Structure formats: structure tokens, C-alpha cells
């Protein structure tokens, strides 16, 4: 039992470490960082309270239990929101998505000390947690009845788990030919998250069995798996770069340290990418442009594209220059010109060329005309006159 608690303690430490890292990371997509941090923090609270109870520190756990309870109700929604926003490439929650946090608000209302005379049987709650029935606490803990906790939380876990997998299977992100750069990470995230959520239902099998060894096996299994996953994360950093590790650059190969030599000219940053990575990055970049149409924004820059894909800026630049064969400005103007060619016949009767060009993402008229001639070889008026004749 002592060894299993030791493994669990190490896993608990890493959960807190990763959650804090994601909360304060300055790189990556903040929405995804925060959602993932909440998931880690929720699991950390669950493991910490279990550790305190199994270590006979039952006097100090009630405060932490009430503190972490709202996170346990919002964690299933965070799992769903992280996955769907990851697939869609969103950087902010849509208005309706905030409704997923209603259960957490209800929990805050539930935990508010409306009735100071309410007696909570913390000893019974501790006993149920000790039996690994944390998902099915049958004691009243606040304003609402005991069924609020014992029924609502399992329902939320199952409902969001099913909704998440439905959204994933509906998309093509798990398809090996999808070209999505985050496919491997999302697959790992889904498998791990699904396992730990379903593991909470295992005690149902042994609900009426009085067998302490079952609890010991359950704790040992959870703690060992948690530790194995954390070790795997630390030994496969490239899989998690941009998603779990978002403040370090792991893309440069280890290089032999050599004495510094004064450079006569500025040398470009060295890039080491496998052919498959080049193709995946290229496909992902094109997918973002075609689906989200960020080129319609005047101020869209290569750093915004890199941020949307969670890859380094110099990798974007390398793919553009060496695989696509254009610099970023020419590449994005190609999309804008194509958009203009599609929109002009529809809007020409009520809008000027300059207005349509502005809608397609061009800041100035001069930039538009230069880009149009570079792309088509002629000016817009001549281009559409030729189209009419043909």
C-alpha cells in the first residue's frame, strides 16, 4: 500500500506541475491551455484528497474537498470543449459554449453555506472515497440533496464523453490521411482521458463487496498508470510540444557545442524536419486557410498562422519557401486574389473594385493592384474583360 501511495504522490505532483505550467504559459493557444490546465487541476484535486484520506489525514481534507468540487463538475465539459475547439482551431469560446459551465455555477450555489446548521457526515464521505467511490458519494454536502452529487456527476461524465467521441468520429482528424499536425496528440489525449473517466465507474462492479485488497489493487493500478503516462510524456516531448509543453522549443536537434565564431552575415535559423512533417505542416496550413479564411483579415501575419497551428514561425516560413515555393506575403495574397476573382462578378454592380479588394483582406489599393498583376499577369479590368470575351 505504501508503494502505491508513493507512485500516486509522484503522479499527483506532475499533475499540479503541468496545470500550473499551462496556466502561466505565454505560448500556444490560451483557450486550449486553460481548458487542459483545468482538467489536470481537477484530477490533481481528486488524487490529492484520496491520498490524504488513505494517509489518515482525514481532518484536513473537507476544505479541499469543497474547494475542488466545482472543478469536478466542469471537468467533463472541459474535456469536450478542449477536443472540439482543438479540431475546429478556435481560439475563443463561442457564446453558447459558456453554457457548459452552468453545472459548476450550480455547485457553487450548492456549496454556499446557506444553512450553517447543516451537518455534513465527513467521516462517511471519507469512507466512500477510501473505497474509491468518489464518483458516487451518497452523502449530502450542501444545499441540494445527496442525489445532486451521486447522479449528476456520473451523468455529466458519460454525456460529455459520448459527445466528445461523436464529435471526433464526425470529423476526419483521426484519419491518417487527414494531414492534421495534432492528430497523434489528440489521439493520446482522448485515450488517456477516456480511460481515467471510465475508471471512475469500476467500483460499481465491486459495490457490495467487502474486499480491502480490491481497493489496494485499484489504487495501485491508477497510481502506476498515472506515473507511467507522466514518464512517457517526459520521454516523448515532441509528441506534446505545442499542446502540453508550450513554453519551450523542442524542434531543434541536439547540436555539438562549438566555440563561437563571429558571424559576418546573419544566417537563417536551421530547420530539421522529416518529409512527412513537411507534408503534414503544408496540408495543415492550407486547411486553415481554406476552412477559416484568415486571409480576409487585413492584419493576419505568419505569427498568427503559426499560433493557430501551434508550430514555430520558422517552420511555417520553411514550408512556404521550400515546399510551397512562395513567401508568406505572396502566398496569402494568392488566396485574397482568388477570393476577389470569385466575389467581383457578384458584387461589381453595387461595389467598387477597391471596396471588394478591401473585403478580401487588402489594406491598400496599390497593394491589391500589384498583387493582382503579379498573380494574373494583367490588371483587374483587363482580366474580367478577357473573361467576358471568352
State residue 282 phi and psi, 5-degree precision. -60, -45
CB 296 within 8 A of CB 333: no
Residue 268's pLDDT is what? 45
- 225 plus 281 within the same structural domain: no
Average pLDDT over residues 131-151: 83
- 65 plus 207 within the same structural domain: yes
Range list of β-strands (E), the chain: none
State residue 245 phi and psi, 5-degree precision. -95, 105
Residue 161's pLDDT is what? 95
* Burial class of residue 267, CB neighbours in 10 A (0-12, 13-18, 19+): exposed
Residue 114's pLDDT is what? 78
- 368 plus 222 within the same structural domain: no
- 120 plus 224 within the same structural domain: yes
Assign residue 356 the CATH number of its domain: 1.10.10.60
Average pLDDT, the chain: 80
Write the pLDDT tens digit of every residue in 262-271.
333 343 445 5
Identify the top-confidence range among 50-64, 93-107, 132-146, 231-245: 93-107
Q: Taking the CB of residue 45, how many other CB atoms lie within 10 A of it?
A: 23
Query: What DSSP line would sit under 350-373, residue for residue?
Result: TS-HHHHHHHTT-S-HHHHHHHHH
More confident residue, 217 or 1: 217
CA 81, CA 268: separation in Å to the nearest integer? 38
Residue 266 falls inside a structural domain: no
- Given a cut of 90, whether residue 81 has pLDDT beyond it is yes
- 231 plus 281 within the same structural domain: no
Residue with cell 521550400: 322
Residue 264 falls inside a structural domain: no
Examine the fold and report which residue of 216, 240, 264 is the final residue of a domain before the chain moves on: 240
Residue 45, Cα to own-chain centre: how many angstroms? 20
- Looking at the whole model, is its pTM more than 0.85? no
Write down the number of H helices and E strands in the chain. 16, 0
Average pLDDT over residues 147-156: 86
Residue 29's pLDDT is what? 78
Examine the fold and report which residue of 240, 262, 295 is the final residue of a domain before the chain moves on: 240
Average pLDDT over residues 119-129: 87
Assign residue 194 the CATH number of its domain: 1.20.1070
- Given a cut of 50, whether residue 204 has pLDDT beyond it is yes
- 103 plus 211 within the same structural domain: yes
Residue 244's pLDDT is what? 73
More confident residue, 334 or 268: 334
Residue 100's pLDDT is what? 95
- 326 plus 219 within the same structural domain: no
Residue 220's pLDDT is what? 63
CA 15, CA 21: separation in Å to the nearest integer? 10
Residue 192 falls inside a structural domain: yes
Residue 382 falls inside a structural domain: yes
CA 112, CA 370: separation in Å to the nearest integer? 64
- Given a cut of 70, whether residue 335 has pLDDT beyond it is yes
- Given a cut of 60, whether residue 235 has pLDDT beyond it is yes
Write the pLDDT tens digit of every residue in 16-27.
988 998 888 877
pLDDT bracket for residue 1 (50, 70, 90): low
CA 338, CA 48: separation in Å to the nearest integer? 56
- Given a cut of 50, whether residue 250 has pLDDT beyond it is no
Cβ neighbours for 363, distance < 8 A, ≥ 6 positions apart: 298
pLDDT bracket for residue 10 (50, 70, 90): confident
Quick one: residue 179, left, alpha or beta (phi over 0 = left, psi -120 to 50 = alpha)?
Answer: left
- The domain of 145 spans 2-240
Average pLDDT over residues 53-68: 86
- Given a cut of 90, whether residue 99 has pLDDT beyond it is yes
DSSP conformation class of 253 = P
More confident residue, 357 or 279: 357
DSSP conformation class of 122 = H
- Given a cut of 90, whether residue 384 has pLDDT beyond it is no
CA 369, CA 235: separation in Å to the nearest integer? 52
Average pLDDT over residues 78-90: 88
Q: Find, among 178, 156, 182, the residue nearest to 79 by Cα.
A: 156
Residue 246 falls inside a structural domain: no
Residue 265 falls inside a structural domain: no
- 279 plus 145 within the same structural domain: no
CA distance to 88, 94, 290, 351, per residue, from 298 (Å): 22, 22, 16, 19
- 15 plus 122 within the same structural domain: yes
Write the pLDDT tens digit of every residue in 287-315.
999 999 999 988 888 888 988 888 888 88
Residue 41's pLDDT is what? 94
- Given a cut of 50, whether residue 373 has pLDDT beyond it is yes
- 289 plus 351 within the same structural domain: yes
CB 70 within 8 A of CB 16: no
Residue 262 falls inside a structural domain: no
- 88 plus 223 within the same structural domain: yes
pLDDT bracket for residue 145 (50, 70, 90): confident
Spell out a b/e string for 6-38, using b for 16 or more CB atoms within 10 Å of the CB, else e.
ebbeebbebbbebbebbeebebbbbbbbbbbbb
- 50 plus 143 within the same structural domain: yes
Residue 325's pLDDT is what? 85
CB 357 within 8 A of CB 373: no
CA 39, CA 157: separation in Å to the nearest integer? 13
CA 59, CA 267: separation in Å to the nearest integer? 62
Lowest model confidence (mean pLDDT) among 67-71, 108-112, 243-247, 340-344: 243-247
CA 325, CA 309: separation in Å to the nearest integer? 20
pLDDT bracket for residue 226 (50, 70, 90): low
> How many domains does one find in the chain?
2
Residue 198 falls inside a structural domain: yes
Q: For residue 338, what is its C-alpha cell?
A: 482568388
Average pLDDT over residues 309-337: 88
- Given a cut of 70, whether residue 356 has pLDDT beyond it is yes
Amino acid at each position: 500500500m505504501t508503494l502505491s501511495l508513493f507512485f500516486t504522490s509522484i503522479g499527483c505532483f506532475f499533475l499540479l506541475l503541468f496545470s500550473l505550467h499551462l496556466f502561466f504559459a505565454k505560448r500556444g493557444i490560451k483557450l486550449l491551455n486553460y481548458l487542459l490546465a483545468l482538467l489536470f487541476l481537477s484530477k490533481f484535486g481528486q488524487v490529492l484528497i484520496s491520498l490524504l484520506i488513505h494517509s489518515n489525514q482525514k481532518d484536513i481534507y473537507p476544505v479541499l474537498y469543497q474547494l475542488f468540487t466545482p472543478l469536478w463538475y466542469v471537468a467533463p465539459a472541459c474535456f469536450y470543449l478542449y477536443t472540439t475547439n482543438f479540431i475546429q482551431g478556435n481560439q475563443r469560446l463561442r457564446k453558447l459554449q459558456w453554457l457548459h459551465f452552468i453545472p459548476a455555477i450550480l455547485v457553487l450555489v450548492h456549496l454556499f453555506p446557506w444553512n450553517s446548521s447543516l451537518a455534513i457526515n465527513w467521516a462517511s464521505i471519507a469512507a466512500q472515497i477510501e473505497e474509491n467511490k468518489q464518483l458516487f458519494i451518497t452523502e449530502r454536502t450542501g444545499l441540494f440533496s445527496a442525489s445532486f452529487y451521486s447522479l449528476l456527476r456520473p451523468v455529466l461524465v458519460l454525456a460529455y464523453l459520448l459527445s466528445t467521441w461523436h464529435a471526433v468520429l464526425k470529423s476526419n482528424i483521426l484519419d491518417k490521411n487527414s494531414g492534421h499536425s495534432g492528430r497523434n496528440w489528440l489521439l493520446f489525449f482522448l485515450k488517456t482521458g477516456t480511460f481515467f473517466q471510465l475508471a471512475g465507474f469500476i467500483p460499481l462492479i465491486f459495490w457490495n463487496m467487502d474486499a480491502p485488497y480490491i481497493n489496494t489493487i485499484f489504487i495501485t493500478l491508477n497510481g502506476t498508470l498515472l506515473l507511467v503516462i507522466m514518464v512517457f510524456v517526459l520521454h516523448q516531448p515532441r509528441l506534446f510540444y505545442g499542446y502540453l509543453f508550450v513554453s519551450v522549443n523542442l524542434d531543434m536537434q541536439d547540436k555539438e557545442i562549438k566555440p563561437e565564431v563571429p558571424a559576418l552575415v546573419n544566417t537563417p535559423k536551421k530547420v530539421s524536419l522529416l518529409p512527412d512533417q513537411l507534408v503534414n505542416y503544408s496540408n495543415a496550413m492550407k486547411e486553415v486557410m481554406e476552412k477559416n479564411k484568415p486571409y480576409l483579415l487585413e492584419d493576419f501575419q505568419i505569427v498568427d498562422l503559426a499560433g493557430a497551428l501551434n508550430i514555430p514561425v520558422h517552420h511555417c516560413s520553411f514550408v512556404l519557401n521550400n515546399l510551397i515555393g512562395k513567401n508568406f506575403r505572396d502566398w496569402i495574397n494568392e488566396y485574397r486574389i482568388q477570393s476577389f476573382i470569385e466575389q467581383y462578378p457578384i458584387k461589381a454592380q453595387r461595389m467598387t473594385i477597391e471596396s471588394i479588394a478591401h473585403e478580401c483582406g487588402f489594406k491598400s489599393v496599390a497593394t491589391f493592384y500589384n498583387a493582382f498583376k503579379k498573380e494574373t499577369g494583367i490588371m483587374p479590368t483587363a482580366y474580367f474583360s478577357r473573361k467576358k470575351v471568352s
